[in-house]
């Protein structure tokens, strides 16, 4: 009933959701609005464009990035992409080292071009802007694990559902993005009683280590995570600091 739109979430208490009939909660003029995508083809075009926009860049290859779209198989997806290309709603992007073309929304092409131009100017002026972000396991960017592996050389799996003895890293491990690459992953555990975000484990990607240039961006990324979980402080397990060279990140 929820997926058909007959009921919606009225409110929630902690993790429990309470539902009510949609007609009781939404205006009648909204409920009686004509379907903006009356044909299957129009619906497929809308959803394919929306999904590519959600991830940023995506290929026409079956995988995690295309999951969850009802009745959209490879044939229908390919047809939708071709229609969107013909209508100039999509642009093709070729990435060195990746055989398949990637697709970007035409409206996002200017942003991509601006980033490329900025990188070129930074290289010429020897200046740089550092950015870092802690990503959630289901962040849009890493929906398609295989695409991320080919683009960044970063292999990530969310091991929360794997038996403890079969986990390579840990129960809830988060990727760390720095500029244009994934540099590490770490295991945070929130202690709600003391309002402390504990960093229990840390794994650098091959060839990566903490440098002075990283400190401001990584510090802000970890601070953003602590604000998100409403922690008042961050604590690194001493063994992690020693083994991974994280002394400069102590907060």
Task: Please state, in angstroms and as integers, the Cα–Cα distance from residue 146 to each residue in 27, 98, 151, 163, 246, following that order.
Answer: 42, 11, 9, 23, 30
d(CA 214, CA 226): 18
Which CATH number is correct for 130-249, 3.30.43, 1.10.10, 3.40.50, 3.40.630?
A: 3.40.630
CATH 1.10.10, domain 40-122, yes or no: yes
Q: What percent of the chain has pLDDT over 90?
A: 84
pLDDT tens-digit series, residues 161-215? 999 999 999 999 999 999 999 999 999 999 999 999 999 999 999 999 999 999 9
pTM over 0.75: yes
Domain segments of the chain as ranges: 40-122, 130-249
């Amino acid at each position: 009933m929820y997926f058909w739109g007959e009921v919606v979430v009225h409110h929630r208490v902690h993790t429990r959701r309470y539902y009510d009939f949609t007609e009781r909660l939404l205006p009648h003029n909204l409920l009686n609005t004509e379907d903006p995508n009356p044909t299957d083809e129009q619906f497929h075009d809308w959803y394919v464009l929306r999904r590519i926009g959600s991830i940023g860049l995506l290929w026409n290859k079956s995988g995690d990035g295309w999951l969850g779209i009802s009745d959209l198989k490879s044939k229908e997806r390919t047809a939708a992409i071709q229609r969107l290309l013909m209508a100039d709603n999509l642009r093709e992007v070729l990435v060195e080292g990746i055989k398949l073309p990637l697709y970007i929304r035409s409206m996002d092409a200017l942003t991509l071009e601006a980033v490329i131009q900025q990188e070129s100017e930074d290289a010429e002026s020897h200046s740089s802007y550092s950015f870092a972000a802690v990503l959630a396991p289901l962040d849009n960017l890493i929906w398609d694990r295989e695409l991320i592996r080919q683009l960044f050389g970063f292999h990530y799996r969310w091991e929360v559902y794997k038996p403890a003895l079969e986990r390579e890293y840990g129960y809830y491990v988060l990727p760390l993005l720095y500029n244009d690459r994934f540099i590490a992953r770490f295991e945070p555990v929130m202690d709600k009683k003391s309002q402390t975000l504990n960093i229990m484990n840390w794994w650098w990607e091959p060839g990566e280590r903490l440098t002075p240039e990283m400190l401001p961006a990584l510090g802000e990324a970890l601070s953003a995570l602590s604000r998100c979980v409403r922690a008042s402080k961050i604590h690194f397990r001493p063994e992690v600091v020693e083994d991974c060279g994280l002394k400069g990140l102590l907060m």
